[in-house]
């Protein structure tokens, strides 16, 4: 339902590529953008432990509609972790059919680039945090050694 509602809202705005232009809120989307509404619906209605089984039973024609939406969610940096998890599950399940679907080629390439860039940003952040924690630990240890 969330995918259909968001797609209808995007098409109603004249948006056939799933990009958000000037947006007027739809009351059915509860004041959120179509993509934020999809994220909220997934988080609210699907438990983390049931995510994989819910996506595995998703028919292929919905997967074809859902992957460009997930790509746009990643492109807008709304919830990269959730959308990447969904994409990985869908790829594991439907890889053979997705690889021969020409309409999804550009989305898959864009998704690959977006996810790689995001992962490298997360790695840099984690590396900086680890370095800062190591520095603080060394400072605390040196202060403790000075007092004894």
Collapsed DSSP state (helix, strand, coil) of residue 16: coil
Burial bucket for residue 111 (CB in 10 Å: 0-12, 13-18, 19+): buried
Distance CA 82, CA 40 (A): 11
Contact 3, 38 (CB under 8 A): yes
Per residue in 57-91, pLDDT (tens digit) is 989 989 999 898 998 888 888 888 888 899 899 98
Rounded Cα gap, residues 148 and 98, in angstroms: 65
Query: What are all long-range contacts of 114-117, with beta carbons under 8 Å and residues at least 24 apart?
Result: 114/71, 114/74, 114/75, 114/80, 115/74, 115/80, 115/84, 115/87
Confirm if 71 and 109 have CB atoms less than 8 A apart: no
Using alpha carbons, select from 69, 61, 73 the residue that is nearest to residue 101.
61
pLDDT digits (tens, 9 = 90+) for 30-49: 777 788 888 888 888 888 88
Give CA–CA dist 127/132, Å, rounded.
9
**Global confidence as pTM:** 0.67
pLDDT (tens digit, 9 = 90+) per residue, 80-120?
888 889 989 998 988 888 888 888 888 888 888 998 998 89
For residue 3, which phi and psi values (nearest 5 degrees)?
-65, -45
């Amino acid at each position: 339902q969330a995918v259909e509602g968001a797609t209808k809202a995007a098409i109603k705005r004249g948006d056939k590529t799933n990009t958000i232009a000037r947006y007027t809120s739809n009351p059915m989307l509860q004041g959120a953008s179509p993509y934020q509404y999809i994220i909220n619906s997934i988080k609210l209605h699907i438990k983390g432990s049931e995510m994989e089984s819910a996506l595995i039973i998703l028919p292929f024609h919905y997967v074809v509609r859902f992957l460009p939406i997930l790509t746009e969610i990643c492109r807008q940096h709304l919830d990269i972790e959730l959308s990447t998890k969904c994409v990985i599950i869908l790829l594991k399940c439907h890889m053979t059919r997705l690889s021969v679907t020409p309409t999804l080629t550009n989305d898959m390439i864009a998704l690959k680039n977006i996810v790689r860039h995001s992962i490298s940003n997360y790695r840099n952040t984690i590396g900086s945090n680890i370095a800062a924690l190591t520095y603080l630990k060394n400072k605390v240890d040196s202060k403790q050694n000075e007092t004894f």
